[in-house]
Amino acid sequence: MGTPTDVLPANNHTPNLRKPLLRDKLSMQWHKLDAVRFGLLRKAIVVLTFGFLAGSLSRWVNQSIPPSATHWTPILEIILINYAIVLICVSQHVPSIEHNTIDHKEEVPEDTLPRSWHKPSAAQSRLLWSALLWITFYYWKLRAPPVSSSFSIDAAPPLISSATFHQRQLTLARTLYAQNISAYISEPSPNSAYYYNISAADWHLSERSFIFVLTPEVTTEGSTRARVRVVVPSFEETRAKTQLNIAVRSDGIEYLPWEESESPYESLKDLAPSKAEHRSTVLVDENARVLVASEIQAALGDGVDVRASTREIRELRERKTEEELALLKYVNEMTLHAIRLLRPKLHLGITETEAQALLVKVYDSIGFKVKTNAALPHGSSADRVLQKEDLVLVDTGASYGGYVADITRTFALSNSEIPKEHLEIWDLVRRAQQAAYDRVTLGVRASDIDLAARQVIAEDGLADKFTHRLGHGIGLEGHEAPYLHAGNTNTTILPGNTFSNEPGVYIEGQVGVRLEDCWFMDTDGHAPFARLDKMAKSKNHTAHNQTKKAHKNGIKKPKLNRHPSMNGVDPKFRRNLKFAQLGTQKLLRAQRKEANGEEPEVKKGKGGLKIVE
């Protein structure tokens, strides 16, 4: 039997016998808005969304692909933005949404719908929306510049200037004159790179001697000047002049070419004293080959003492200038960026060879070159596969302008299952690194800094697992003087000194953890080269020594400081680390019991004391 026509609604639609859904109620609220405003809001959302997406895409492409493929970036940007413009232009109106109830239907009146874009003002409207879209795109793209090769070049500090090389040579000449030394001789090495802008990488050492001779001379006015002579194979003279024109004054250099049939050391005989009763001293760079030093001694005769470089000469390189510090800061920051770009590309099951190749690609994408053996997950040398219980150890450093970085990070991937004991070792190494950093003050002995980190690890019963020195100098060489070790009691930290801080714990067959950052000392205090979190430059070890105040019963609870080695660590790894540190809560509760006159039960456990509640 059909439904009586006298009970049908006037619009002849069968009523929807259901309760209004939430979406229906929301639709009614939307349609209560002015339809024109709704249309503007909808278009604004489309514009902002696609501008954001295009900007994000551009940043992602610049970070993820090598420079050779970045020519595709503008094409992708244009396609995405034009697609958004088309969507805006073809939108005509907001479709009416029917809302049926038991006894009525509600529609949006057509005269309140937004006007079509095909009206006389359509061109101006499209132009306005397109301009807003491009503005949004460029704002988001440029708000945080991507780490790309072009960005790296733009952000790079200037290289060492000619005036700086001239000043270095003059300082060396004055030091030699003050010590009554006739000459300083060096082969292509880090020292020659420092004084003459030519390193062993620029000029490969061979059986054909290529040496620099700097002698101090006193002018008629009584001042000291540097005289530089270059002993070079005759067929390489043009090449030597090309590379040396930056570092040496044209009026202060003399080229001494020698033929294959001649001895290259004959031209140095004038360094010998003219009278037999007089003796002179010539210093040879500590990096020079023994063969070269012996040949120089034979050529100059017994009247000349050929010695290795003195401590005073070596110290000239150890204290860095502002130009050098700027280069070191830049290359350390770029190295840290490279590690952060590498982390998302790693996954369980990857081999160490594959990880090395990924790191090389990352450096290439930001305009740097690095050795292929610079990334070794887990710190081993075998081509093993990364397992879920493994921590990843990456020790790497880029180079720019001859200056190198050295940064190590140990971290876990987000889907790893790291044993609690390994997480505790990670935190132990972090605390040791912080203890060493806090010990640094102007004039402190190098040995004291090493002992500060070593003591933290020793307190946990793992002193024998910290098997190397705490750190080394950093500059033109990855490892250079001065060194931070327990036996270096004669070296004090001076303004301009630069060091690595790299404590580590290594348990063979189980786990290896090392955290490394480089820092420098200036007259105001010390600071890291690549500390990209909010930790400010330390004068009195500010943020990292703070503790929370006024804890229950007067017990002060240590604050877990954010540390540069945690930058970019996966949230899951942070949570696991936090759980591993919950043991400190037991210690705090035991301290409260002791403060209240109660005796907590304590028993000796592996690696130290264990609190039993």
pLDDT in tens, 492-502: 999 999 999 99
505 bridge partner residues: 513
- Residue 559, SS3 per DSSP: coil
With cut-offs at 50, 70 and 90, classify the pLDDT of residue 120. Answer: very low
CA-wise closest residue to 230 among 192, 287, 280: 192
pLDDT tens profile 572-585 = 444 444 444 444 44
Average pLDDT over residues 409-432: 93
Q: In the structure encoding, which two tokens stand for residue 280, read together?
A: 């002179």
Higher-confidence position of 546 and 454: 454
pLDDT over 50 (residue 33): yes
User: DSSP characters for 206-229?
Assistant: -SS--EEEEEEEE-TTS-EEEEEE
pLDDT tens profile 121-153 = 666 666 776 777 777 766 666 554 444 444 455
Do 255 and 230 contact (CB within 8 A), yes or no? yes
- Cα angle 241-246-249, degrees, rounded to a multiple of 5: 80
Q: In the structure encoding, which two tokens stand for residue 236, read together?
A: 């390489």
pTM of the model: 0.65
pLDDT over 70 (residue 359): yes
pLDDT tens profile 43-64 = 777 767 766 776 666 666 555 5
- Cα angle 451-524-516, degrees, rounded to a multiple of 5: 40
Q: In the structure encoding, which two tokens stand for residue 494, read together?
A: 């001076």
pLDDT over 80 (residue 11): no
Tell me, rounded to whole angstroms, the distance of Cα 258 from its chain centroid.
45
Q: In the structure encoding, which two tokens stand for residue 275, read together?
A: 């009278």
Alpha helices in 415-480 (DSSP H): 420-439, 446-459
pLDDT tens profile 244-272 = 888 877 777 899 999 999 999 988 888 88
Q: How many CB atoms lie within 10 A of CB 266?
A: 11
The whole-angstrom separation of Cα 179 and Cα 268 is 20
The whole-angstrom separation of Cα 560 and Cα 327 is 32
Domain 322-531 CATH class label: alpha beta
- Residue 376, SS3 per DSSP: coil
pLDDT tens profile 310-327 = 999 999 999 999 999 999
Do 199 and 149 contact (CB within 8 A), yes or no? no
Cβ-based neighbours of 107, under 8 Å, separated by 6 or more? 96, 98
- The domain locations on the chain are 162-317, 322-531
The whole-angstrom separation of Cα 381 and Cα 376 is 7
- Percentage above 70 pLDDT, the chain: 60
Higher-confidence position of 560 and 345: 345
SS (H, E, C) 572-590: HHHHHHHHHCCHHHHHHHH
Domain 162-317 CATH class label: alpha beta
Q: How many CB atoms lie within 10 A of CB 601?
A: 10
CA-wise closest residue to 501 among 448, 566, 436, 564: 436
- Percentage above 90 pLDDT, the chain: 43
pLDDT over 80 (residue 432): yes
Round the average pLDDT of the chain to a whole number and report it: 75
